[in-house]
Structure 1
Amino acid sequence: MRNLETKKEIRHKIIRLRKEMDPLVWQQATNTITETVINHPLFLEATDIYCYANYNGETGTLAIMEEAWKLGKSVWFPRVEGSEMNFYLVEQKEDLQPGAYGILEPTGEYKADGYDGLLIMPGVAFDEECHRIGYGGGFYDKYLKTHPDLHTIAVAFELQMYRELPFEEHDIKPEKVITEKHIYPLESGECFL
């Protein structure tokens, strides 16, 4: 790859840009992303939704969780336990409490089997081929390696998109990345902005 920024540089830059977003722009983009997710066939067809609580300027996810409940879907949130991440059932907002790094985590003990459903992935940056840079812990890569039947959608703001990112062959990329402007990978004929 030619002169690509390092993962560390990209993380620093994108986290700063997300934190600098105007709150109204953040909310409007989050609303658009949420509408696209909850109307996507992968969401509509799933009975189990594996979500996460947004943090550090990430795209909002709580409305996705609420829509899943309205549709009678089971909702699962991650909890980091040592070097592993597992998903636990969340039946109401009160089942989430601040955990590792101040991120909301489930308090329940009913662990997901991870054999079926849709996993909504966080990430710092993505490229047009859906390669992903996370926060560097490898939690989602590890989880998805042991739960390969889960479908995956990442949610991100368009400002998190790159033409090309550095990646490792073992990195697991989402099937789709949904931003306020596009669903990646782009259909033929669409242009990367």
Structure 2
Amino acid sequence: MDTASAKSELRKIINSQRPQSSIGLFEQLQRLAKKTDATKIASYSPLENEPDLKSFNDWAAESSSLYFPRVVHDKLEFAQEPLRAGKFKIMEPTGSAILSSDLDLILVPALAADFLGNRLGKGKGFYDRWLENVASTNIFAVVFDSEVLELVPNDPHDKKVNGIVTPTRLIAI
């Protein structure tokens, strides 16, 4: 099976098993933010079937500077609130954009991630294109526990993460 087919099949399987419990995720994310001394955090507004970041985002907005992604043409950028529904019906910020080099911690959505830092996204490549120019060592995929796999199908253009956060653990890569 080629990589594109393997990714497509894995996306179907994972989406059929979502959502799962996010209990404990807030504590893991809070622990990560404190461990990295993050004052400028890139997060995202989760969709209904994604791990629930709402409590963490509320906490981070009070204790740090919190940034959310938005799509501008075919590129991703991060900015602060207020949020409004964007192109893909995802809540997007309306504030001024921040340089990726100014972010201390970057949380990225994923359908799966592995111990080598490979992450399976939704297939549109927004995060992969954005991560091409990000030098941070604090890029973490957020997934449910069952979505940490031995190996995620990947292509050379797929950008790796430095860690994984689940409701029960932090995994450094």
TM-score, normalised with respect to structure 2: 0.88
Give the Cα separation in 2 of the matches to 1:43 and 1:183.
Answer: 11
Give the corresponding residue for 1:76.
67
CA deviation map 1:43-71 (0-9, x unaligned): 65111000100014100112221111221
Give the Cα separation in 2 of the matches to 1:96 and 1:178.
Answer: 24
Contact 2:33 2:105 in 1 (8 A): no
Match of 1:146, SS state, is coil
Runs of 4 or more consecutive aligned structure 1 residues displaced over 4 Å after TM superposition: 41-44
In structure 2, which of residues 15, 26, 37 is the aligned counterpart of residue 34 of structure 1?
26
Give the Cα separation in 2 of the matches to 1:42 and 1:114.
Answer: 20
For structure 2, the 5+ residue unaligned runs are: none
Give the corresponding residue for 1:191.
none
Q: Higher mean Cα deviation, 75-84 or 121-130? A: 121-130
In structure 1, which of residues 111, 114, 124 is the aligned counterpart of residue 97 of structure 2?
111
1:16-165 residue pairs with structure 2 within 5 A? Answer: 16-19=16-19, 21=20, 26=21, 30-40=22-32, 44-71=36-63, 73-90=64-81, 95-108=82-95, 110-116=96-102, 117-149=104-136, 151-165=138-152
For structure 1, the 5+ residue unaligned runs are: 187-193
Contact 1:129 1:184 in 2 (8 A): no
- RMSD between aligned alpha carbons? 2.4
Percent identity, please.
Answer: 27
1:9 positional shift: 0.6
Give the Cα separation in 1 of the matches to 2:37 and 2:49.
Answer: 29
1:104 positional shift: 1.0
Contact 2:164 2:171 in 1 (8 A): yes
Give the Cα separation in 1 of the matches to 2:68 and 2:76.
Answer: 10
Give the Cα separation in 2 of the matches to 1:130 and 1:120.
Answer: 13
Give the Cα separation in 2 of the matches to 1:148 and 1:59.
Answer: 25
User: Number of residue pairs matched?
Assistant: 172
Give the Cα separation in 2 of the matches to 1:141 and 1:80.
Answer: 13
Match of 1:64, SS state, is helix
Give the corresponding residue for 2:8.
8
Which amino acid in structure 2 is aligned with residue 113 of structure 1?
L
1:77 positional shift: 0.5
Q: Which structure is larger by alpha-carbon Rg, 1 or 2?
A: 1
TM-score, normalised with respect to structure 1: 0.79
Contact 1:119 1:150 in 2 (8 A): no
1:111 positional shift: 0.7
